Amino acid sequence: MLTFLARRLVGALLVCIVVTFIVFVIFIVVPGGDPAQRIAGKNATPQLIENIRHTWGFDKPFYDQYWVMLKKMFSGDLVSYTSQQNVVSQIVQGMPATFSLTIGAGIIWLFFGIVVGVVSAVKAGRTSDRLITVLALIGISMPVFWLGIVCRYYFAEGGVAFIFPDGEYVGLTQNPFQWFWHLFLPWIVLAVLFIGFYGRVLRGNILDTINEDYVRTAKAKGLPPRRILRKHVLRTSLIPVITLFGLDFASVLGGGAILTETVFDLHGVGQYAAQSINNFDLPPIMGVTMYGAFFITIFSVIVDLFYAYLDPRIRPT
């Protein structure tokens, strides 16, 4: 067990480092203009650009630059090219919003995803199942940015009503009610996509599991149908859903809800990532990518451990 854990954690660390390298290479290779020029701004003299290039080390060979960047990252010294702000502190500032968005949406989408999955499986083939399927597919197909803007327009900017606030994030400790109120629409918008998807996955798993031999055995033992569903069907059907949830949750926590955060102006890590990419600003891009990679790799290990807990066949003996 400990060797398994150690191996996975070392692997996770390696993945993070490789990710930084890949991001760096992409940045070097993709044409986006000279960073020195961007820092210098408009009306910059060639001399100024040259000075900036030298101060910032852009004239050094790329492996040198990469090494310097890695050092800065681990010492927390990463500074944005455009805004001169410390990347780490910017990320930390955005974390409460991103965490609030993720945890709230995660609870909603897991709960309703399971409900939708179970109901549509139990009523498979009937009208209610077909209706739920259509709704789920609509939910999956609606682009987040479109749904987000539509919700904002109708419910916050007066299209139908002024119920919800028009974007922005309010800290939980500042004002709990406003915190909830500001996050309500973003939660719904983010969850809708996942609910549809998880519902479909769970429905498929349940319908497969119902045909398994051990479910027939459970019936032959005289178990009532509710109990068969709960103990024998759901337990096995939920395993892939839970592991899927772990990874999706990690990715949203790692700043993956870029569109939702931007549409609702939540100033979370995702929005910061979007802005940095827009500005072609390497240090924040690097920082955010590392932040995301960290969460995804860690959760990946957690999910594997949890999977082994749920399915005894997988356990490392």
Partner 1 sequence: MAERLLEVDDLSVHFATEDGVVRAVDGVSFDVERGKVLGIVGESGSGKSVTAMTLMGLTRDVNARFGGEVNYRGRNLLELSESEMQRYRGNEIGMIFQDPMTSLNPVYRIGEQIVEAIQTHEKVDKRSAGRRAVELLRQVGIPNPESRVDDFPHQFSGGMRQRAMIAMALSCNPSILIADEPTTALDVTIQAQIVELISVLKDDFDSGVIMITHDLGVVADIADEIIVMYAGRVVERAATRDLFYDPQMPYTWGLLGSIPRLDRPRPDRLHSITGAPPSLINAPPGCRFRPRCPHAFAKCVEEPPLENHVETPGHLDRCWLDVEVKRSVRAATIAGEAPEAA
As a whole number of angstroms, the distance between CA 302 and CA 86 comes to 30
> Which of 50/311 has CB closer to partner 1?
311
> Which of 153/214 has CB closer to partner 1?
214
As a whole number of angstroms, the distance between CA 141 and CA 136 comes to 9
> Which of 99/307 has CB closer to partner 1?
307
CB of 242 to partner 1, least distance (A): 13
> Which of 42/313 has CB closer to partner 1?
313
Binding residues vs partner 1 (CB under 8 A): 212-214, 216-224, 231-232, 235-236, 310-313
> Which of 159/224 has CB closer to partner 1?
224
CB of 183 to partner 1, least distance (A): 36
CB of 212 to partner 1, least distance (A): 7
> Which of 146/214 has CB closer to partner 1?
214
CB of 218 to partner 1, least distance (A): 7
The CA angle 71-76-78, to the nearest 5 degrees, is: 75
166: left (phi over 0), alpha (psi -120 to 50) or beta: beta
CB of 221 to partner 1, least distance (A): 4
CB of 311 to partner 1, least distance (A): 6
